[in-house]
Structure 1
Amino acid sequence: MRIGLDLLAEGGWAAITARAVADRAGTRPGLLHHYFNGLPGLHVAVARRATEMIVDPVVDALLAAPDTAAAVEALRTLVPDMVAGERNLRLAAELLVRALRDPRMGAERRDWSRALRGRIAGRLAQLCPDWPAERREGTAMLFTAVLDGLLLQLILDPDLPTDPALNATAALVAKP
């Protein structure tokens, strides 16, 4: 998995070949078929691991926040770290591009986004039980969109300040 991530950061998806992985690992290419059901399975596994490394710390902090204001503060603190360093920047960009071009990766990303929205809506049900389901679901979609949007904006402009967008988000999700 580490080798797959290294290759992805170095040369994009085209760099992750059975031969390249086997050469770096000092193994036979056939082991990829055994452990990952072939190269496409390795690609999916690498995408999942990259998402776990880049996005999951932010999601975990978001879901652990005691209220919506703390959730926005978690985003304020952790979102810039998603693309900190050249490696994370390249991995994040490759994940988004591949999700757009590859139906299997697109389905993986869609399922991940749906699950994330469900988890956020569930957390909001605990934090804001007086909110109607539509508001909780809409807020979950907003948080997911903010996370995805900021990630994309930081890929394009790593020096972009995120505070203005997060201040606007905080105003939108504040309890009335």
Structure 2
Amino acid sequence: MSQIRAFLAIDLDDDLKPKINKIIREFKKTDARIKYVELANLHLTLKFFGDIDTEGLGLLEEAIANVVSQFDSFKIRIAGCGAFPNNKRIKVIWVGIDEDSIIKDLHDKLDKEFVRLGFDKDKRFSTHLTIGRMKSAKGKDKVKSTIEEFSDVEIGEMEVDRIVLKKSTLTPAGPIYEDLKIFEL
């Protein structure tokens, strides 16, 4: 039985990536040890499945298709910058997505189906795009001030008209993502 590492995501529109890249360049000036997400890989994760059996992909795809059929496309606004768990203990640097009730509703309905299929229920769901992960505390103060500088940054709007089931292959150079199936809203 073979397994793949998989997740469900909303990809970021290409026309918004240069604006996020400007923010990343500012963080790079801090000389902090940050592992940045490749621009091509920027996405909002709706569900991380981890390692799953490929035999169950059909059931998973069917559950996603059933939920997605209940939704029309919608707009989201990308704005702001912050850190998890907080600005005092920075582990993840993110760009925000306005908390949208449609995304929350989509996530909750999907998660309900995933629980039915045997996956753990998400304990927390946060609409964000991870742009980097701190590898050490070096430069933390400069990173914190850069986060504060971009806390109200406006990046733009995008239309969400699809979600994507992706395969993630971990490599020493970083993850490689492959679209397994696209679900149109």
TM-score normalised over the length of structure 1 = 0.26
Larger relative contact order (Cα-Cα within 8 Å, sequence gap ≥ 6): 2
Q: Greater share of strand residues, 1 or 2?
A: 2
Q: Which has the larger radius of gyration?
A: 1
TM-score normalised over the length of structure 2 = 0.25
